[in-house]
Structure 1
């Protein structure tokens, strides 16, 4: 969207400068919660008009796109810790405007611009840019870059941050999985790190998201068709609805409630459901015509059940990948490197590539 002309590009760039600062000012997680609200607002706009500008600018663009606003909050927190303004570089909950330090907000702006440019660059990579989640990958790259820049010795060393702090591996461990096992040096979500917990969260939230995504793809798609608008746009954005709900749930996590963090699960499970359902119906995602659920026969509903099973599996994969990313980067680290973002871009690439190959 933001490469249509030089003017549009500069408009987006200025919005990203502000968006990164806003994310730092209100705190990374609060910015991400706002992303969730923007997704729901965008769905209302889309269902009413058939236009995706809400998704393109408000939810996943430089206004409150995670690669701008959330990433700005993450970078601002580790920078503030490096400068000695705060003590915990992983604290993406606290609004950084409360520090009263303009330079923290400026760092948020710089990383907002960084995210804006990197996301556009990824989207233009041949093949890969269309077969991955460039937003999630940018969030991960931004977090890695922020730690590399500001994760060293406070006020002394720039560009020396350790990505996963191997000096804090379990000393008595003989294998790599044992070395990175959660322990006294840090945990991401201790109520969601065991295999049984990951399978439960991944599968059930996966079905939850898959069902919502297919329902929206079918019924909103049919409604848009009746108005002479493209049928496939609802399916292309369907997985964002449950993702938005999951993002809003982070608000309750901020209030010290042990909420499940599962936006990576709902994002990928919803994507898998709408990508594979057309294949189960003997078509492809690009050519399948979505019809209202009221017109479906028993065979169609049976294929929906299969699609939800696929969504559950995809949700489990995303949950496991996020925990792996937490053990690699987050648990022992000095800053927030987002485990869900790592899981989303890998899982998205797997789902989209497999669906394209099967079609």
Structure 2
């Protein structure tokens, strides 16, 4: 959307400066919750009109795109710690405007602009740009950059941050898994870090997301096809709906409830269900003709059942990968490097590539 002309690009860039600053002002997690509401609003517009501007500009663009608003808030938080104005650089809940220092919001603005440019760049990489989630990857790259720049000892100089903070590895650990095991030096979410917890959350939320995504792809897709839109338009966006609901759940996490963080699970499980259902039906994602579920026969329902099992498998995969990324980058770190974003871009690449390979 933002590469059709220089004017459109500059419009988006200026808007991204605002989005990143606002994300810092209200706090990264609050900005992400607004992403969730923007997704659901955009789905209403999309289902009614077939227009994707809500996704392109509101939910995943300069308004509340995670790579802009959330990432701007994340970078501003570690900058505030570096300047001695915030005790914990991983605090992505505090609205940073309340600290009273405009430079913190300006850092958010700059990282919002970085996210805008970076996401466009990633999406234009041959093959890779169309086989990954460029927004999620940009969230990860932005957080890594912020950690490296501002994550050192406060006031001791820039570009002294560490991705792993290896000095906090347990001294008695001899293997890498033991070194990154959650413990007193940090943990992400202790109520979803064990294999049994990850299996349960990944499978159940995965099935939930897979079913919703299939219904949206089929029913909204059939309606939009009748209106003259591309047959797979709804399917290409179907996994974002439950992702939006999962993003709103973060609001309850902010209020000190031990909510499951599972937007990486629902995003990837919904994607897997929609990608593999056409393959199970003997077609490819690009060529499959979506019809409303009211016209499915018993064979299609059986293949949909198998697609939900695929969704559960990839939901578990995404959940486990999120916990691994938390142990790798987040637990001992000085700033928030988002485990779900890391999981989404890696899992998305696996799902889309594998579906293309076997179709």
TM-score class normalised by the smaller sequence: over 0.9
Q: Secondary structure at the match of 1:126?
A: coil
Partners of 1:67 and 1:209 lie apart in 2 by 23
Tell whether 2:108 aligns with 1:112. Answer: no
Q: Distance in 2 between matches of 1:283 and 1:194?
A: 38
C-alpha separation in 2, matches of 1:229 and 1:80: 47
Matches for 1:238-317 after TM superposition, within 5 Å: 238-317=238-317
Give CA-to-partner distance per residue, 1:3-23, whole Å, 9 cap, x none.
Answer: 000110001000000000000
CA distances 1:298-353 after superposition (whole Å, capped 9, x unpaired): 01000001000000000000001100000011000000000000000000000000
Partner of 1:86: 86
Cα-to-partner distance string for 1:247-280 (whole Å, 9 max, x where unaligned): 0000000000000000000000000000000000
Q: Distance in 2 between matches of 1:354 and 1:332?
A: 33
- List gaps (5 residues or longer) in structure 2: none
Which residue of structure 2 lines up, in the alignment, with residue 158 of structure 1? 158
* 3-state DSSP of counterpart to 2:109: helix
Q: Indicate the SS of the match to 2:342.
A: helix
After superposition, where does 1:117-128 map in structure 2 within 5 Å?
117-128=117-128
> Which secondary structure state, in structure 2, belongs to the residue aligned with residue 48 of structure 1?
helix
The separation in 1 between residues aligned to 2:321 and 2:14, in whole angstroms, is 34
What is the aligned partner in structure 2 of residue 346 from structure 1?
346
When normalised by structure 1's length, the TM-score is 0.99
Matched, 1:77 2:77: yes
Structure 1: stretches of 5+ with no match in the other structure: none
The 5-angstrom pairing of residues 171-210 of structure 1 reads 171-210=171-210
Question: Aligned partners of 1:36, 1:139: CA distance in 2, in Å?
Answer: 16
Aligned-pair CA distance for 1:229: 2.1
- Residue 138 of structure 1 is matched in structure 2 by 138
Counterpart CA distance in 2 for 1:6 and 1:179 is 48
SS at the partner of 2:335? Answer: coil
After superposition, the C-alpha distances for 1:101-145 in whole angstroms (9 at most, x for unaligned) are 000000000000111111011001110000000000000000000
Distance 2:146 2:226 in 1: 48
Which secondary structure state, in structure 2, belongs to the residue aligned with residue 284 of structure 1?
coil
2:66 counterpart SS class: coil
Cα deviation code 1:218-242 (max 9, x no counterpart): 0001111222222211000000000
The aligned residue for residue 49 of structure 1 is 49
The separation in 1 between residues aligned to 2:228 and 2:133, in whole angstroms, is 29
- Counterpart for residue 237 of structure 1: 237
Distance, in Å, in 2 between the alignment partners of 1:331 and 1:228 is: 49
Deviation at 1:174, TM superposition (A): 1.3
Partners of 1:228 and 1:124 lie apart in 2 by 27
Instruction: Indicate the SS of the match to 1:67.
Output: helix
Shift of residue 155, structure 1, vs aligned partner: 1.1
Superposition RMSD on alpha carbons, in Å? 0.5
| Mapped partners of 1:304, 1:78: distance in 2 | 45
Aligned residues: 359
Q: Distance in 2 between matches of 1:19 and 1:110?
A: 10
Q: Deviations over 1:21-73 (max 9, x none)?
A: 00000000000000000000000000111011100000001110000000000
CA distance, structure 1, for counterparts of residue 237 and residue 129 of structure 2: 17
Q: Specify the SS of the correspondent of 1:68.
A: helix
d(CA) in 1 for partners of 2:146 and 2:227? 46
